[in-house]
Amino acid sequence: MENLLIATNAVIPFVVYILLGMLAKRSGAVKESFLKELNGVVFKVFFPFIMFNNLYAVDFSRLSNAFYVVFATPVAAASYPMAQSMGGDADLAGEYVVISTLLSIFTIFGWILLLKNMALI
């Protein structure tokens, strides 16, 4: 239940940003060009700040299972469409998704073996 509370606290600011943007766009209060510039600022400034703040607030010593870190190894599949929409190298992002997912088959096994031998799981 505590992990759900932590996850909810991490997601709520993003939901608020999405709702504010939707309301501003539907009301016509902002232009499309401004939204594109604001999108870049949000992803380059506010998103890292919020993620760092949330990670700083988490007490990792209280997490009872090391799998939270282990299963975070593959690159998120959402990185391809995000790179594509932001004008980045979408093909490279797609390659990273495929390569990291294939490598995670071995790295996850290695992490599980290591953590099992250390009696952490």
Q: How far apart are CA 92 and CA 86, in angstroms?
A: 13
Stated length of the chain: 121
pLDDT digits (tens), the chain, 121 positions: 777 788 788 888 888 888 988 888 889 888 888 878 877 888 788 888 887 887 777 776 666 565 555 555 556 777 888 888 888 888 888 888 888 878 877 877 787 788 788 877 6
Q: How far apart are CA 15 and CA 96, in angstroms?
A: 28
* Burial class for 110, CB neighbours closer than 10 Å (0-12, 13-18, 19+): exposed
Decide: helix, strand or coil at residue 64.
coil
